[in-house]
Each structure stands twice: as C-alpha cells, then as structure tokens.
Structure 1
Amino acid sequence: MRNLLMLTVIFLSSVVISQAQDKKDPSYTIINSYQQYFELPRETIFLHLNKSTYLVGEEIWFKGYIYDRQKNTPATKTSNIHIGIYDDKGNQVDKKLFLGFNGYTRGNIAVDSTFASGEYYIKASTNWMRNFTEDDSFVQKIRIVNKKAPQPDLGVVKYDLQLLPEGGHLIEGIENTLGFKLTDQNGFGVEIEKGALMDADGNTLLEFKANSFGMGKFAVTPQKEQSYKVVTTLFNGEKIEVPFPEVKDKGIGVSVNNQAKENVIIALRTNDLTLEDIDSKKFQLLIHKNGKYSRTTIPFKMGRKNTLISFKRENLFKGINIITLFDENGKPLLERIFFNDHNIEYPTVSVTNTAIEGDSINIKFKFNGKAKNLQNFSVSVLPEDTRSYEHRENILSAFFLKPYLKGFVENPAYYFKDIDSKKSYDLDILLLTQGWSRYDWGQIFNHSPKQLFKFKNGITLKGSLNEKDLEKYNELYIFSAGGQGSKSIELSGPQFEINNLFLKVKDTLRLSLINKKNDLVKPKLSANPVPETYTDKIGHLFKSPFYRLNNPSVPEGFLSDKVTALDEVVLKEKRKEIKDPDALGPQQAEVVDEEFIERYFYINQYIESKGYAVRTNHVRLDPDEGLVSINLKASRTVNASTQPALYVNGIVSFDYDLLFRLPSSAIEKIIVDQSGYGAGLRGGNGVIKIWLRNTPLVRSSGKSVFPYVEIPVQDGFEEHKKFYTPKYQAYTDRSFQDYGVIHWSPDVITDENGEAVIKIFNTKLNNISFFIEGMASDGSIISSSKKLQIK
C-alpha cells in the first residue's frame, strides 16, 4: 500500500539524551523539559472512609494510603498528613495532623453537634504537594445528618452535549473519530435512547449509541463545504442537538485501537493539503508517564497519508499511557490517553465467617495472587443494604486514573470493579472524551516545579537560650511528657532548632541543658513549636448531589451516647501499641515518691540496682550510637541482644535515650523485671516499664525537683484511637440497615498464607457487606466489596 507506513516500535522506558546533542534541537527541548518537570517525586493519597454518610455523634474513621507514582510503591518520605473537613463552599471547618508510617496513616474525626446537616468534603494532603501546580490532594464528598438531612434543590435539569474529536481536532477529508458525552448541569452522564449525525438538510448520515454515562464515539469523514449536526434522543423523547465542531483544512488526526490483546495500534492520518506542508519533516511521537517516556520519529512524506504504529502491551507502561505528537518545531499538536492493563494484577479476596462466639463473629479473609502475603488493608463492615457507603472513588481509580485526568469524572471506581471487556471499552471512551491530560505542556516547557516545600516528618521546635554562661553547657536535651521520644542537640549558640519531633496533641515538651558534668539543669529559654497546620480552601468543587438521596431522616434516639468497645484482632502488625495495667504478674509497680528520689536521684540508678548495666554514651564516635545502653551481663536471646524491652506509658518504645540523665522525679511509677513478664519474645532480657509524670513532683519545701522547662504542644499529631461500635437503638430496623455501622478495621495484615482474621460485633443480621481497600509493601493494590451470609 503506497500511502501507508507501518512501524513496529521497540519501547524504551526512558531514553537517555546524549550530552553532545544539539540543545537547539526541538526534541532536546521536549525531553529535557519533560524530565525536569517530573524530576521531583509525586505523592498520591487515597483515604478509605468507613462510610459516606455520617450521623452527628458518630466518628469519621479512615485509613490513608500514600503512593509514590514514579516507583509504584508506598510513599515513605512523608509522615505529616493533613486531613480536614470543608463545607459545601470549600471553606475549612476542621483540620488535623495525622502520623504517616511507611506509606500508611489512620485516624478518626468526631462528628459533633456543631455540624449542620448537609454535604461536606474531606481532604488529605501533604506539605510536599504544595510544590506542584497540579493538585494531588485527595478530596471526597461526604454527607452529615443532624436530626434530618436537607433535601437538595435539583432545579430544572439542563443538558450539555459535547463533541470531542479524538486527539483534539477534526480534519477534512480523512476518517476522524468523534467522541461525545451528554451530561446534566451537575456533570452526571445522561443516558440516551439513540443518536444521529445529520447533514444540513436533516438527512441521517449515521446513527450511534451511548453507554450508561452518556458517552460514546463514532467515525466520520467530514467535508468542509458541508454542514453537520448531532442530535440525541432521550428515553423521554426529548431531543438535544448541537452543531458540528470546526473542521480544519489541515492537520493530523489520531485513532487508538486499544481492544487487541497483544498490541496497541496508533493510527496517524492526514490529507494531501497537509502533506504539502510537512513533507520530509520529522515529527516526534512521545508516549509518556510520570517522567518516563518512549520517543518515536514519524517521517511524513508525500503520498503517505496514513501511518500505523504498533506497540506491544508488555513494553508499554502499566496503566495510563499518554500519547503526544509534536511538530518539527517541538509544538504539541495532539494528545490521546489510553489504559494498558497488561501485567496489572488485581488480587482477589474471599470472605468467610469461621466462628460465632457470643456477641462476636470471627471473619477470615483469604487473598490470592503474587502478593497475597503482603497485603495491608482496611475493611468497613456494614449492613448488606446500606445506603451510607456511596463512595465513587476506590484506591485503584485514585492511583491509576485520577492523577492523569483533568476535570470531573463520574464514578471513577466503576472502571475498576469486576473488570470485563465492556468496562475496558467504557474506560477507553472516558479517556478519549477527557481530552488532553492534566499536565499542560505550557507549564512543562516554562514552569518546572521547584522544591519550595519539604517532605515533613514531625514537628519543629525553634527557640532561644537566655543563659549568660552558655559555654558551661554541652547540649540541649528534650523529651515529651507523653513519652514520644527524646533528642539532644549540640549547642552552637543561643539560637536552636530541633526537628522531627513526633508529639501528640496536648502533649508537653520538657527541655533541659546538659552541663560539663553531664547533669541536667533547668534552662532559661523561650521556645515554641512551629505551627504545622494552616487554613486553606478547596478551590475546585463538584456540586453533584449524592445518589439515592431520598429523605434520609433518622428517628430520635436512633444513636445512643453509649458505645460498645470491641477488640480488634490482627494476625500481624508492623507497629503495635500494647497497653499495660499498673501491675503485671508477680512484679508490682514501684511508686516514685520523695523517699524514692532520696535514694535514686536518676532513674538509671534504680535500674542498675535491679541487675542491669546502664552506660551513658555522652561522647559518641558514631552519630547513630544511642545516648543510653542498658544490658544484662549475659544475653538470654538467640539474636545475642542483651537489651530489655522498654515500655513508656504503656506503649512499646525503642528509644532508650529517653532515660538519659532522667530524674526519678519525672516518673510516677516503674517496673524493672528480669523475667520479662508480659513482653513476649522481646522480654527475653527482661522488661522495663515506666509511667512518666504529668505534673512535677513537689517537695515539702514547695520547690519542684523537675530540672526542666515545660512547653505545651497545641498542634501535634492526633492520637490513634481504637474503633468502637456505636450503641444503636435496634439492629433490625430500617434505619440501622440504612445508616448503621457494624465494624471498622484499619490495619489488617495477611500472614504467610495470605490470610487474616478480624472479630466483629454480632448484630444478628443474616447478611452483611465488607468494603476492602489495601496496598501491599510492594505496591500491589486491592479493592473489593463482598457480601456474606452469616451461618
């Protein structure tokens, strides 16, 4: 075929530009600008909310997943996660700071009586995201019901029929693919009974159908001297029509065939008039994603109006691929997005109940797939026919789709549930009608992101010492009353800054100077934590009302003030909080009083009296060496460790530096037990449990023996709370089945067999639903919903 060029391209994930390449070459500008634009890593957040409709008195429970889009793994560089509630106008109502760990966060926000009934938004973001023009924060609409939900004023339905050429342009005399979508004033798709392309005389040239979102496509070869219009007919008989888009004399059209199993075929078409202008000129076709790309030179020659390019799926990017065609001057001419699902594994999960034990049910999850034993997931358990879980986003759509599209997407989760050929086709139609990607080439060429904001990890304390003889002191020592770790910094002057403090809300910082004798001295200073939160606003809101919003009023007394506490069963955890009573087994807690302090001024003296060797490493040759080491004379563990397990305020701790020159007056009570009772394998060399004092111990003289300055922390990290099941009036009535909560498990981790078990409250319902979202340590993602009949 004389007018067809067929190219089979070997795809390269990232082409390295030769240093010797002419910087005036347009291809150099394209690639160099593109790589610079994506040089900084990009984070994406997804929040799995336990519901979408909340009653006043409930809690918004969530699990956050932070994803590195360039590495396709959990994003681990940020630990400060900002999560806020915003009203229907985008104004901030509440905002809190939550701790991220290895790409995950979790927490809850109370829905109190200050919330009026209505629609709200929950937003999650990081400080790092502020570096970019594109907003990568997560925004999800929720609804709050305070006694009775307001009914939305839908008004008169207005329609918008858009005609969207594939690649962006209609070219005369060649076959073009024309996408279309019919939406209402809220951006929701409107189903049509039929559609037709008509000429100026009203003759039907072709007919077409649309999917359930009012979207579709058809092929057309327009002639510039003719006039066309598109007419759609709704199921109620109403007709909506629009004139045809502009047909250009010259240009290049694109068509992507994404339905074949092994290959993706890209067709570039043009007409004779265009070939006269571009004969022998070299155009560049870029397939790109997240800073990686493959570049192909397209030679246009007279008589060759059609070029087909074949890409093997195995060589393309997983998920979204963006095609951009540039002319010989480096100007982008057209763009098309398509999705490649080759080698994307969607793990499957089965849910069964293994036992009913009184008021609890044991639920087992079993995962299949390569990463079955790496899953870290959250699960919301609700009545089978719940009307309170209407999320239109899931973790797959949040990570694989939304970061690359601009504009509102109706129900993006649809394309990643029960995937089949129809949904793959519908996804391709969506990407055709969405047009160009959210990454604007004007921005890419002229405004590469600058690192103005850092990855935030913890809170920063800034201050100034007011000591006359500062040279008498070696270091400034700091720890929190809540036992959230300790730090020491060398003094280089009166000004100081301490970073990476992981302090909880309403915690208290304690600061002390270390003198030449290694004693702690109460300093004279002024210091304050740097505010971490800031007020912002959601700029781009989608006004679409919730589906099925038909009078969701809640009867008086439906939700009681009482709650039912449930244990959460997790087979394996990366980090576990263990709460201890004051006395464990045969060992009783020693209460610290004035007599205790007289005998043991520093708590390390007491620990040594119990058979441990305590060494303070004030001069450290290795910066990673701790200030304090505590050891038995001989190891009793297989890994040769001689350190005891340490618990601070009932929580396991690995920070022995907290004990550095720690006065006994800072402690309320202590257990030192070489038997290691209650600490499991970690207690092979014994256990030390201390409870820090909230207020200083004061001697009979009235003077405090606390050698610290105390600074209150107002804006720290929110404390992780355990889920509780609200106490409902009844579990069999319609209100509970519509809006009630059975259980929420945020941190469930599979074992080596891909299995995990949780315990849920037995509401006596025969059928319940499980909504599962998760991300493994290798970046594999799970999203599933299951219904279970309780037997």
Structure 2
Amino acid sequence: MKKIFTVLYLMSISLSSVYAQVTSIPALQYTYTNYFQLNREYVHLHLNKTKIAPKENIWFSAYVYDLRTNLPNATTTNLNVALFNEDGQQIDYKTIFINHGFGNGYFNLSEKKLSPGSYYIQASTNYMNNFREDLTFSENFQLLGNLQEKSNEKENIKYDLQFLPESGHLLANVSNNVGVKLIDQNGKGVFFYDAQVLNSNKEKINSFKSNKFGISKFIINPKVSETYKIQLKTEYGDTILQSLPKPEPKGLILKANNFLTDQLALCLETNEESLSKISHKNFFLTITQNQNIKGIQLNFNHSTTYNTIIKREDLFPGINIITVFNENFQPILERLIFNPINIKRKSVTAEISDNLIDSLVIKIHSQEKIDSLQRISISTLPTNNKSYTPSHNILSSFFLKPYISSTIEEGSYYFTDANERKRLFDLDLLLLTQGWSSYNWKNIFNFKPTENFQNEIGFTLSGKLLDDSKSEHRLFITSKTSNLLEILELKDSTNFSLNHLFLKDSSKVYLGLFNKNLNKIKKSSYALSVLPFKKESSFYNSKKTIVNTNQDKFLPIDFKTFIQSTEALDTVVIKAKKKQEIDHRHSGFSDVTLVDEQMATQYHYITDYIANQNFEVRRTMGDVIIKSRRAATINGSRQTRVILDGVPLEGNTVMIYNLLTSQVESISINKSGIGYGVFGGNGVIEIITKTDYKNAKSKNKNFFEYITNNGFSKNKKFYQPKYSSYNTNLFKKYGVIDWQPSITLDKINPEITFKIPNTLTENTTLYIEGMSADGYLISEEIILHLKQ
C-alpha cells in the first residue's frame, strides 16, 4: 500500500488556481482544509420529554460543540431557540445564554393555549449563517390532547422502496453490494421480510430481510442483458414488486468491509470491459473528517481490483468519509464508514442511595477518572413511558448527524448499550445507503466560507442622550437583574454604546448622569435600543427530523383530570417566591444571602458579616475600607466595589459604616467580579436594605427607567406538575417525575446526590446527557428499581 499522505497547509498555492480547478494532491489538500477553517458549531438540545400533556411545559438543556477541536464551543453565548407549529409558523422565540458550550431553558406551553398536534423546537446561532450546510438543530414534539393514542388499525400507507448501490450505481459483471430502504410517506422506515431477488425467469438468486428501520442489503452480479426485480412483504402484509435499475456496462465501484476487528478493508473494482481504459490512469482515495484529510494515490496496473487495508488507528474516530477521485481530481465515488475506536465518550452510574418516604435520593457517580468539569442533564420518567422518543442523543447529534444529508431514524439507537455487533452492523447499513456525505464537493471546490456573520456574544445597549447636559459627562447605567453596572465618559458626544452585555429579556435598566463630585445623580431622557433585535426565525423542516405520525388514528384518552395544577408543592413555591424576587434584584453571578434573625444577632454590623466572608475590613474614623484578599488588579488596587440599593459607593463607603445587619434585607457577594468588567476585579458586594425595596419608586426618581425588549431568556426552577394520581396507566405512559437541567461533576466532587419525588413507581428511568470541558460526551439510559 502506498504511504498515506497527511494534512498539509501549502500557503504557496494561490486561491485563484485552487478554486478554479484542483489539479494536484497539494491543491486538493489545501482546498479541503480551507473549507473547514471556520468553526461549524453544532447544537444538541436535551428535552425532558417529547410528548407533552396539557398543563405541562417543555424543558431543555443545550450543548454546543466544536467538531474541529472536539471541545465545547466557547465562542458563542447567544443560542436562538424557537418553537414552530407544523405549518412552519413561529409561535415563540428565546435567546439562551450559553456558557462554555452549555445552557438551559424552557417554554411555557400552557400560557400559549396551543392546540394538540405536532410542533418543532429549533436551535441555531447567528454564526451558522456563514455555511451552506444546514446546521440547525430541529426536534419534533407532540402536544397531547384528549384524542392522542394511536389505534391498531392499519393506516393508508404509501410506500417508497429505494435501491441504493454502495457506489451509487450498479456495475455489470462484478459483485455489487446494494442497499435497500423501505419508507412510508412520512419518511419512517417500514420493516419488511421474505425479500427475494428475481431474474427475468422469476428464479430466486438471493433473499434477505430488513432491520427494524426498513434497511437491508444484498449482493448481486448483474448482467447487462438480464433484468431483475425485487419482491418483498411489508410488516402490514402488503407485497411489493419493483424492478432493479440496469447496471452500467463500464465503470468503477467501491466496496468497504468495516467488520474486521482492527482494520478496514477497501476494494476498488472494475470489469474487463473497462480495464483497458483505466489501467494506466491514476486515481486518488481520500479519507476525510472535518478539517482533516488523508489519502493515497493508486492505479489498477492491469488488474480489475485494487485492495487496500487501513489500520483503525490510521482512521479518524467516528465518521470517516472515503472518496475516490479520478485523474482530473473529480470525485466519482464516496462511502461513509464509522470507526468506534477512541470515540470521546464517558460514562456515569446512578443509584437510589436513600428512600425518604416522600422523596428518593439519587446518587450520580462518574465511572472514569474526571479530568475536567462535567455538566449533565437528567430527565427522570417512569420506565416504559411513551413520552420520551427524541430523534437523537448527544452522541448521534455530534458524531453522526453532521455528516449525513438525509433522514436518520432513531439516531440515538446507534450509540446505546444494545448488542454491539448488531448495532454496528445496522449503523453500517445506514451509512451504506447514504451515498454522498452532507459536505458537497462542489461547495468545497468553489465556495470557501467567509465570516459574514459574527459570533453573537451577549447584547449591545445603544443609546443617545436627548438632554443638553453640558456639565454632566459621566453616565451611570445599572440593572440588577442583568448584572449591569457601568460608568461611561460621554466627553463631547451624546451617543453611547455598551457591547457584550449579559442583558436579560424584559429587565429594567436605570440610567442617570453623575455630577462632577460623583455624589448626585441627575435624571435625563434617552433614546435606547438593544441589539441584535429579536428575529423571526426561518423554519427548517429538516430531512434529518422524522415527524411523529402517531396522530392519524386515535383512541380516546382523557387528560382533563390528569394534572391538578402546573406546579406541585405549592407551599414550597410560595416560600421560594420571596427569595426568587430578591435574587432577581441581584446579579446573576452572585451568591445571595437573605438576612434572618439569627444572622442579624450573630453579626451586629453588616461589615462584620463581610469580614467573615474572607474580606479585609478596616474601620477608620467615620469610614470603612473593604479590600479583597486576592492579588491586586492591574491598577494595583485591592478595594472591593460596594453597591448599596443599586447605587455604587464610589470610594465613599461611609453609608455602610453604621449599617446594622438587621436593617439589611439581603446581601450578595461576587468574589470573582464576573460581569462587572474592570470595576469588579476585586469582587463586588451588593446590599439591599429593607427600606430600599419598599420605597423603590421614590428612590428611582433620579433615574431614567428603560425595560429591555430583548435579551437572554429568564429561567426558572423546574417543579413536577401536581398529578391527580401516580397510580394510573396515564401517569406511567406520559407522566414526568423530575428534570435536572444542570448537574456538575469534577475532580473534587466526582459524585453528587439530588432528590426526586417518590411516585412509588416500581421502575424509573434516568435519561442522562452531558458534556465535559475536555470534550467527552455522556449519554446514558439507566433504569432504577425501587425496593418495596
């Protein structure tokens, strides 16, 4: 075998010659790697369920991945998530904050008063618009109503029987592998059996049956003068008879054997009729994945076959795209294969560690050594439920779907704990029937992606001061719910702009002008806008998403009394409401503490509490200085910023000198200062007094108030709906037990526990998805048994 050539970055080749015509191996390499220089960020949404009962909401966690580095994508913070009905009309839209590739959110479906039916949730970023490939994540889900259970009656099915030769065409007088795929009018696979290959004399020359997805293959050595038909029986008892396409009299085919333990066998084959024309010609075989390319030059040398063995260690982990080029570097054959070696996957275990009668304690533990932070999300449902049927798990979303242009039915199946040999065989069947990958060589040769659309990192607040205030040039901008606190020098301009802000949707922003002494604020008028504007997203009815069609024939199901209220544990919700209101008046990155009687007794002054939180507090005559114990910032200062009732105490903390802890409603401490820029380098302490909130309106009289019309979606804690009973078939089929959107494991804490309601369900299933900071993916389906 000729030596595999590796990726080369040959900058000496001019772009004009490369994109006009590829004429050499270096040009091919350069053209290919250039096409993948920009980051195609891929998204996976882990939904808590895909069949939603009335009065339930849909919850999700988002994972964003960079396939070039196999790491969480850290460049984008704005993930646009939209809901569509089956007619493609947008019914809701949110921007989710993504932090190092991870975020979470929900949609309140009950307030939308949507009709039962089929809906889509789609996720995309602005940066995806740079590419010709559709990178949008799309998942179908069902809103259940009072007539939603599918009957056993046979539907009026329209069959589509497809013959898909391994090389895209049949070649006469050689052995061909032919993929077969039977789907219905909705793209869903139909199982078939007793399939026969018949010649013109109706003699059986081969037989086969499909897997559960309606996919199979057979071998045939076709003759030009012969005709062939395929006859089969469907799972519904129908018989289909269809002619096989005529073989090409001359040409070349590619065959792959991906079932050897530690190697891949490839065979390029031609027939005697073609050999004289191609025996002295050079061909090129490449193996590609994302920006990586390897390959060999080959020729037939008077033989009708060219065989090569490639060690698995020389393949890329996951999907490998094998392409054959002719002497003019035109792609003529392509085959996708999957290499399961060295896939970046890690596992976790789960168990019931304690039974507290009304709740169960679940322990999650990493099975392998943890080298970096792991974030996971967990949907807990009754085992054998009908409400969790996503098209993909996180593994198939990132390791399979990006490379395939057509529908993948139950992509998650190929990465489950099912029989490994059968699972890999079925995966190879799927890939055999795909033909060309999602990356079109015409695009690769002619359309290098350009960065016309930027990564969206937060929001921009743009404004103009409408008053003529010549004496005041320092603009004070704050928003407690959006973690915003800035002081701008306006100088000679009345226009201002703040970029990359963590702004929450519909949050209040206050603006005011400082006087020269920075001790008074003047109210002025402003014209303001938040960018980017909310978008009317385009609906992509992706071929990669199969519509759930279980809604043509139904048996009656009564959901009217299924759920009593949308949130169980009402007393807990009421108690939590007060804390939630206070949390919203603090920054999103702070630890908020509510002052109670015990705390007020233990710490006489609020500065006593601050000192106990590892700050250096020095009381002088009539003043108090608070400093961080961390290393000084670049300006040499260690002084911590203090914000009292939303107003920063710029170098003057006398107002908290005698502030009693009993006078404080809440205090939040942000030791890292994340979200405050240079002002927060030594930490930020926010104090809200008891009198402030009661007199908030009067205190805000010096501020201009603006309510944002865009921003990151506000999230809320998941509460299990209050079901009328756990002991019903309806709950076992469609009920939800728990949703954990964000659980973290790391070196220090390789295991974690959390509580779920005890529904007395004998078997409970945890659907776990996750991603680590070093790019390993987690996907588990774990059944827990409740010991009675």
Matching residue of 1:190: 190
Q: How do 1:90-489 and structure 2 match up within 5 A? A: 90-112=88-110, 114-149=113-148, 155-234=155-234, 238-301=238-301, 303-344=302-343, 346-371=345-370, 374-419=373-418, 420-466=420-466, 468=468, 475-482=474-481, 484-489=483-488
The answer (yes or no) to whether the contact 1:177–1:220 under 8 Å persists in 2 is yes
Of 536, 540, 544 in structure 1, the residue corresponding to residue 547 of structure 2 is 544
| Residues in 1 aligned to 2:222 and 2:672: alpha-carbon distance in whole angstroms | 76
Compared CA separation, residues 309 and 591, structure 1 to 2 (3 A): same
Offset, 1:144: 0.9
Task: Say which SS state the counterpart of residue 385 (structure 1) adopts.
Answer: coil
How has the CA–CA distance of structure 1 residues 279 and 765 changed in structure 2, closer, same or farther, with 3 Å as cutoff?
closer
Q: CA deviation at 1:164?
A: 0.6
Distance 1:610 1:759 in 2: 47
Inter-partner Cα distance in structure 1 for 2:81 and 2:13: 48
Q: Is the CA contact (8 Å cut-off) linking 1:395 and 1:783 kept in structure 2?
A: yes
Deviations 1:510-569 (A, max 9, x none): 23345655565544432211244211232325563356985372342221126235799x
- Choose which of 556, 565, 569 in structure 2 pairs with 1:561: 565
**Alignment CA distance shift 1:715-1:357 (3 Å):** same
* Residue identity matched to 2:248: K
Superposed CA RMSD? 3.9
Q: Any conservation in 2 of the 1:171–1:222 contact (CA below 8 Å)? A: yes
Name the stretch that deviates more: 459-468 or 19-28.
19-28
- CA-CA distance at 1:496 after TM superposition: 2.7
Query: CA shift at 1:664, angstroms?
Result: 11
Q: Residues 355 and 681 (structure 1 numbering): CA distance in 2 closer, same or farther, change over 3 Å?
A: farther
Q: Give the C-alpha shift of residue 454 in structure 1.
A: 1.3
Post-superposition offset of 1:744: 0.9
| Counterpart Cα distance in 1 of 2:508 and 2:670 | 31
What CA deviation, in whole Å up to 9, does each residue of 1:483-526 have, x standing for no partner? 51323445473333221111212211223345655565544432
Change (3 A) 1:49 1:698: closer
Whole-Å separation in 2 of the counterparts to 1:310 and 1:728: 59
In structure 2, the CA distance between the partners of 1:52 and 1:576, relative to structure 1 (3 Å rule), is farther
Q: Give the Cα separation in 2 of the matches to 1:82 and 1:665.
A: 43
**1:629 offset after TM fit, Å?**
5.3
Aligned equivalents of 2:85 and 2:620: distance in 1? 54
Secondary structure in structure 1 of the residue aligned to 2:720 = strand
Separation in structure 2 between the aligned mates of residue 450 and residue 146 of structure 1, nearest angstrom: 46
Check the 8 A contact 2:510/2:704 in 1, yes or no.
yes
Q: Distance in 2 between matches of 1:209 and 1:586?
A: 72
8 Å CA contact 1:55–1:146 kept in 2: the answer is yes
Cα distance in 2 for residues equivalent to 1:581 and 1:431: 57
TM-score when normalising by structure 1: 0.83
Do 1:673 and 1:686's aligned partners in 2 also have CA atoms closer than 8 Å?
no
Structure-2 separation of matches of 1:449 and 1:559:
50
Compared with structure 1, are the counterparts of its residues 764 and 291 closer, same or farther at alpha carbon in structure 2 (3 Å cutoff)?
A: same
* Contact kept in structure 1, 2:363 and 2:751, CA below 8 Å: yes
Q: Retained in 2: the 8 A contact 1:481–1:694?
A: no
Change (3 A) 1:670 1:238: farther
The aligned residue for residue 718 of structure 1 is 713
- Label 1:680 to 1:444 Cα distance change in 2 as closer, same or farther (>3 A): closer
- Structure 2 residue aligned with 1:611: 624
**What is the distance in 2 between the residues matched to 1:87 and 1:530?**
27
Aligned mate of 2:781, from 762, 780, 785: 785
Distance 1:416 1:613, change over 3 A: closer
Which position in structure 1 is the counterpart of 2:579? none
Higher mean alpha-carbon deviation, 532-541 vs 280-289, is at 532-541
- In the TM superposition, what are the counterparts of 1:494-643 in structure 2 within 5 Å? 494-513=494-513, 517-518=517-518, 520-540=521-541, 544-546=547-549, 551=555, 553-561=557-565, 563-565=567-569, 578-583=591-596, 585-587=598-600, 611-613=624-626, 630-631=639-640
What's the CA shift string for 1:620-647, capped at 9, x where partnerless?
A: x99x769x9535xxxxxxxxxxx89x99
**1 CA distance for matches of 2:490 and 2:684?**
34
Task: Give the number of equivalent residue pairs.
Answer: 731
CA shift at 1:476, angstroms?
3.9
**Structure 2: distance between partners of 1:581 and 1:682:** 20
Alignment partners' CA distance in 1, 2:731 and 2:12: 67
Report the counterpart of residue 62 of structure 1 in structure 2. Answer: 60
Letter in 1 for 2:499: N
Higher mean C-alpha displacement, 485-494 vs 109-118: 485-494
CA distance in 2, matches of 1:608, 1:740: 63
CA contact (8 A) 1:585 1:677 kept: no
Contact 1:345 1:369 in 2 (8 A): no
Tell me the secondary structure at the aligned position of residue 167 of structure 2: helix
1:607/1:19 CA distance change after superposition, 3 Å? farther
When residues 681 and 122 of structure 1 are mapped into structure 2, their CA distance, relative to the original with a 3 A threshold, is closer
Do 2:265 and 2:307's aligned partners in 1 also have CA atoms closer than 8 Å?
yes
Are 1:677 and 1:687, in contact at CA under 8 Å, matched by a contact in 2?
no
Structure 2: give runs of 5+ residues left out of the alignment: 577-587, 607-616, 674-681
Given the alignment of the two structures, is residue 16 of structure 1 paired with residue 14 of structure 2, yes or no?
A: no
Structure 2 CA distance for partners of 1:224 and 1:687, relative to 1, 3 Å: closer
Question: Closer, same or farther in 2 for the Cα pair 1:744/1:155, shift >3 Å?
Answer: same
Cα displacement (A) at 1:283: 2.1
Write the distance in 2 (CA, Å) between the matches of 1:132 and 1:670.
59
Q: Specify the alignment match of 1:652 in structure 2.
A: none
**Deviation per CA, 1:52-101, whole angstroms, max 9, x where unpaired?**
11122212111111111111111111111111111012221111111111
Residue 309 (structure 1) shift:
2.0
- Is 1:768 the equivalent of 2:781? no
Task: Flag structure 1 segments of 5+ consecutive residues without an equivalent.
Answer: 1-6, 569-574, 593-603, 616-620, 632-642, 650-656
Alpha-carbon distance in structure 2 between the residues aligned to 1:679 and 1:408: 50
Which amino acid in 1 is paired with 2:323?
Answer: T
Identical pairs, percent: 32
- Note if contact 1:508-1:713 (Cα within 8 Å) is conserved in structure 2: yes
Q: In structure 2, give the amino acid aligned to 1:171.
A: L
Instruction: Note if contact 2:670-2:684 (Cα within 8 Å) is conserved in structure 1.
Output: no
Residue 484 of structure 1 contacts residue 502 of structure 1 at CA under 8 Å; is this kept in 2? yes
Please list the CA deviations of residues 405-441 of structure 1 after superposition, one character each: whole Å capped at 9, or x if unmatched: 0111111111111150111011001001011111111
Distance 1:313 1:366 in 2: 31
- Cα distance in 1, alignment partners of residues 425 and 45 from structure 2: 27
| 1:116/1:579 CA distance change after superposition, 3 Å | farther
Q: Tell me, yes or no, if the aligned pair for 1:319 and 1:339 is still in contact at 8 Å.
A: yes
Structure-2 separation of matches of 1:608 and 1:484: 32
How far apart, in 1, do the equivalents of 2:696 and 2:188 lie? 64
SS at match of 1:630: coil
AA aligned to 2:165 is P
Tell me the distance in 2 between the aligned counterparts of 1:787 and 1:533: 41
* Counterpart in the other structure of 1:600: none
Q: Secondary structure at the match of 2:486?
A: strand
Letter in 1 for 2:12: Q
Deviates more, 1:506-515 or 1:577-586: 577-586
Tell me if structure 2 keeps the 8 A contact 1:665–1:697: no
